Amino acid sequence: MNDDWLGSAVAAAQAGDEAAFGRIVERFRPELKVHCYRMLASLDDAEDTVQDVFLQAWRGLRDFKGRASVRTWLYRIATNACLANRSRTRRRRRLLTEDAARGEVPIVMSVPWLQACPEDLIDRVAASEPDPASLLVARETIELAFIAALQHLPERQRAVLVLRDVIGWSVERCATELGLTPPSVNSALQRARGALRQRLGGTREQWPSQRDATDVERALVRRYIDAIEAGDDAAIAALLQEDVLVTHQPGASGNQSAVPIWYGGRGIVIQAWAPALHGPQPLHMRLVESWANRQPGLASYIRLPGSAEQRAFGLTLFRIEQRRIAEITNLTPNQFDSLGLPRMLRSAG
């Protein structure tokens, strides 16, 4: 996207032209929202933070001297806004510590406030980036596991890693905008990278990339939907890795407890799902393909007895390896509106 108009828009906004400032907001809102989502792991918190960012920007616009680009200036405000809410940060760090104390918690389930990121938001960022391989929208920097792992980093390490490895800032730029020294930026980055490798396994080059999002994945999701809706255990099993991991957020896909649930192994999964698929009162379920975080997935709906409507039940995202499902993450249906999904479907029969 050609941003040559920005200079004149800034000058007009500094003179009080709200419409000009609105054009700046429209240009940068999507990528700032994705940036804040990476920092906070909550789309709702990211939206609130971005609103505050533009309020701060409007109030401070007259002091903007152009020593850095508008984009850099806004990212600095956004990053500091994400770091500013100390009470939220302390509360969430306690939750992470409590999860760790309970034992081995799957990385995605270790972040209770984790939400999904809509594909249309990521696509809007991609449309503004000339480089199709931009890390701003690459799968390895937006997958749920990466977002969750970021939350385990101390705040400054998280900020440095995102700004260096995703946004692409130089060491000097990070130091200037975060009020750090270049050596402290390098030190924070190395510690952050090491912590992520420990939590995610392997090296960054081994993490899934967007080029892995292929027609094969879409076909696999369609086969999964057909198998679940038909209650075909053999077909379901054929789509799963032997060591497949299934996780449920509290309130997601039938998990009514206050803590996450997880279980693994193909045989255990088939056994765990049997009551819902084959019991005396099987779920009348409808599944709709729905991607988020550059991951294939589906939205599930169930029809309650005596109802003609199917209600939102959960959001499921998959991690696929070697043409089979390696991980199934079930999130709550609370985000259906922000993901552009209806809360109810009319029953077909």
Q: Do 171 and 259 belong to one domain?
A: no
The encoded tokens of residue 146 equal 């990466």
Task: Supply the pLDDT for residue 1.
Answer: 52
Phi, psi of 304 (to 5 degrees): -75, 150
Domain final residue pick, 210, 243, 270: 210
Does residue 213 surpass a pLDDT of 60?
no
- Specify the pTM: 0.92
Domain final residue pick, 210, 230, 264: 210
Task: Supply the pLDDT for residue 56.
Answer: 97
Q: Do 195 and 321 belong to one domain?
A: no
Mean residue pLDDT across the chain: 89
Measured CA angle at 211 (ends 168, 299), to 5 deg: 100
Q: Do 108 and 220 belong to one domain?
A: no
Q: Do 135 and 259 belong to one domain?
A: no
Report if residue 13 sits inside a domain.
yes
Q: Do 195 and 276 belong to one domain?
A: no
Report if residue 144 sits inside a domain.
yes
In this predicted model, which residue has the larger pLDDT, 349 or 334?
A: 334
- Which amino acid, residue 14? Q
Instruction: Give the pLDDT mean for 47-65.
Output: 95
* pLDDT grade for 203, boundaries at 50, 70 and 90: very low
Task: Supply the pLDDT for residue 13.
Answer: 95
* pLDDT grade for 247, boundaries at 50, 70 and 90: very high
DSSP E strands: which ranges in the chain? Answer: 240-248, 261-264, 284-289, 297-303, 309-321, 324-331, 344-346
Report if residue 1 sits inside a domain.
no
Task: Supply the pLDDT for residue 240.
Answer: 98
Phi, psi of 202 (to 5 degrees): 70, -160
Count up the domains in the chain and report the number: 2
Q: Do 201 and 225 belong to one domain?
A: no
Helix (H, G, I), strand (E, B) or coil at 248: strand
Task: Supply the pLDDT for residue 207.
Answer: 47
Q: Do 144 and 263 belong to one domain?
A: no
The predicted-structure confidence for 152-182, as pLDDT tens digits, reads as follows 999 999 999 999 999 999 999 999 999 999 9
Task: Supply the pLDDT for residue 90.
Answer: 73
Q: Do 48 and 141 belong to one domain?
A: yes
Task: Supply the pLDDT for residue 40.
Answer: 96
Does residue 183 surpass a pLDDT of 90?
yes
Report if residue 134 sits inside a domain.
yes
Domain range for residue 168?
6-210
Report if residue 339 sits inside a domain.
yes
The predicted-structure confidence for 93-133, as pLDDT tens digits, reads as follows 777 766 654 557 899 999 999 999 999 999 999 998 877 66
Instruction: Give the pLDDT mean for 253-271.
Output: 91
Does residue 265 surpass a pLDDT of 60?
yes
In this predicted model, which residue has the larger pLDDT, 33 or 310?
A: 33
Sequential DSSP letters for 94-149: HHHHHHHHHS---GGGG-TT----BHHHHHHHHHH-S-TT-TTT-GGGTSHHHHHH
Report if residue 217 sits inside a domain.
yes
Of all residues in the chain, the percent with pLDDT exceeding 70 is 92
CATH classification at residue 274 = 3.10.450.50
CATH classification at residue 175 = 1.10.1740.10
Does residue 221 surpass a pLDDT of 60?
yes
- CA 129, distance to chain mean position in Å, is 19
Rounded Cα gap, residues 331 and 58, in angstroms: 36
Domain final residue pick, 195, 210, 225: 210
Q: Do 301 and 202 belong to one domain?
A: no
Report if residue 219 sits inside a domain.
yes
Q: Do 119 and 203 belong to one domain?
A: yes
Rounded Cα gap, residues 149 and 41, in angstroms: 10
Rounded Cα gap, residues 323 and 305, in angstroms: 36
The predicted-structure confidence for 283-323, as pLDDT tens digits, reads as follows 788 999 999 999 999 999 998 777 778 999 999 999 999 89
Instruction: Give the pLDDT mean for 195-210.
Output: 66
Helix (H, G, I), strand (E, B) or coil at 22: helix
Half-sphere exposure of 48 (CA within 13 A, CB side): 10
Task: Supply the pLDDT for residue 249.
Answer: 94
Report if residue 335 sits inside a domain.
yes
* pLDDT grade for 210, boundaries at 50, 70 and 90: very low
Instruction: Give the pLDDT mean for 326-339.
Output: 95
Q: Do 188 and 48 belong to one domain?
A: yes
* pLDDT grade for 77, boundaries at 50, 70 and 90: very high
Q: Do 146 and 28 belong to one domain?
A: yes
